[in-house]
Structure 1
């Protein structure tokens, strides 16, 4: 896919990886980027301003991706405003920090919220945007996590949701082919506010220093690194149903 002149929708696009993906697409010449958000309204507007400064038309649209009706309204609004959708990046995600041994901490509410956003949200978006993506012979990239591949992450529920998202990616690649390609990225530890705000800058710096010693590339991923993987998959015309891991090779060693 030539990203020049395309229309893209990015869920959770106001901050972190989503914002980096939006900027990456704008720099690739995207004509318009719709930045979806649920709570980060101010940040989404800041992202829109950066995109517009790059010559890309952009708008921020609020919608909870775990609400099917809200997602369908989002898809209809994008269709009405732009007439097409070439790329869908399902980046919206949530978690609860629950230590693995604390099984009682994984309440039904925790499971339902995490699965609702991380898994069902991606499915609802794929279903709602499928007609437009088919018409444009477009592509979807789901943002999963190494927690979907390994027994790690913020909670068991989070890891299960990201593993299920990888299987959904493979299934959708079959269901939406040949018109639509569906792939995923699986970031490791990324320097975003998701991690930094929870533990503080000092602790995060210590964490990343230790992780870097175990990663062949000796680097901690920045949002821009994951955005590179997303755009690469959008551009890869013969790749579908695959996952690219972005963790500097950390997953290669125990």
Structure 2
């Protein structure tokens, strides 16, 4: 049975990834800071959950040790705050900045470091969750954009440094509806694919990268084509 660790697995994209892997026959360790949300996962034989604060080195180390995988086929670094908006740069504190940098970027580093021996033993793969916000922005999204840009750079550095034992890629989601919010026809039709994305779209991309043996150091946009569409406001 293949093994995986998924961070930020209690809800949204991470939850969809964890459950899809279980459905495909994987044994999954689901990590999240939200213990109450973790408890709502459908616990079956192939799915275990562990509390983990990605911004805390000791917590990361403890969670990986509890998962106990000597061989790890896949690490999905998905955890971190989803809301990208910080407010004006003039009022941001260092703690505000760290709110995004520590779990998204430092947490990715810590997870890979702790999982590296098990990943090498299995000649496994890492999938980091970047964002299309690493290459395009809305106002007042400084910490999130910087964290995701860092994830992109860290991805290719890891791919070169850990290869050929471990492949490392990233996914850059665009607009993914994780809460079932009301969406208009315009919301969908602005995407060349004709719709807003779903967490299952990202889970499908993770499965592809988990098995794509000649793909490493890449960032796969899963955004319905929006980073290729030129938009002028009328």
TM-score scaled by length of structure 2: 0.92
> Is 1:85 matched with 2:72?
yes
Return the alpha-carbon distance in structure 1 between the equivalents of residues 119 and 21 of structure 2: 17
Local SS of the residue matching 1:98: coil
Return the alpha-carbon distance in structure 2 between the equivalents of residues 84 and 220 of structure 1: 36
Tell me if structure 2 keeps the 8 A contact 1:106–1:157.
Answer: no
Counterpart selection for 1:28 from 20, 24, 27: 24
Return the alpha-carbon distance in structure 1 between the equivalents of residues 54 and 156 of structure 2: 20
Return the alpha-carbon distance in structure 2 between the equivalents of residues 12 and 22 of structure 1: 10
Gaps of 5+ in 2: none
In the other structure, the counterpart of 1:74 is 63
Deviation at 1:155? 1.1
Tell me if structure 2 keeps the 8 A contact 1:144–1:186.
Answer: yes
Deviation at 1:68? 1.2
Which range is displaced more, 209-218 or 115-124?
209-218
Return the alpha-carbon distance in structure 1 between the equivalents of residues 216 and 42 of structure 2: 29
> Is 1:45 matched with 2:39?
yes
> Is 1:97 matched with 2:97?
no
Q: Report how many residues are paired.
A: 229
**Structure with the larger helix share:** 1
Instruction: Indicate how the Cα distance of structure 1 residues 18 and 154 shifts in structure 2: closer, same or farther if over 3 A, else same.
Output: farther
Instruction: Indicate how the Cα distance of structure 1 residues 230 and 87 shifts in structure 2: closer, same or farther if over 3 A, else same.
Output: same
In the other structure, the counterpart of 2:198 is 222
Instruction: Indicate how the Cα distance of structure 1 residues 153 and 185 shifts in structure 2: closer, same or farther if over 3 A, else same.
Output: farther
Deviation at 1:98? 2.6
Return the alpha-carbon distance in structure 2 between the equivalents of residues 249 and 96 of structure 1: 21
The RMSD of aligned alpha carbons is: 1.7
Local SS of the residue matching 1:34: strand
Which runs of structure 1 show a deviation greater than 3 angstroms over 4 or more consecutive aligned residues?
Answer: none
Gaps of 5+ in 1: none
> Is 1:240 matched with 2:229?
no
TM-score scaled by length of structure 1: 0.85
Residues 7-57 of structure 1: CA deviation (Å, up to 9, x unaligned): 110001111111111111112211x10010102x233222242xx2xxx51
Tell me if structure 2 keeps the 8 A contact 1:144–1:166.
Answer: yes
Residues 146-204 of structure 1: CA deviation (Å, up to 9, x unaligned): 101212377111111101100000101011111000000000111113xx6xxxx44xx
Tell me if structure 1 keeps the 8 A contact 2:50–2:66.
Answer: no
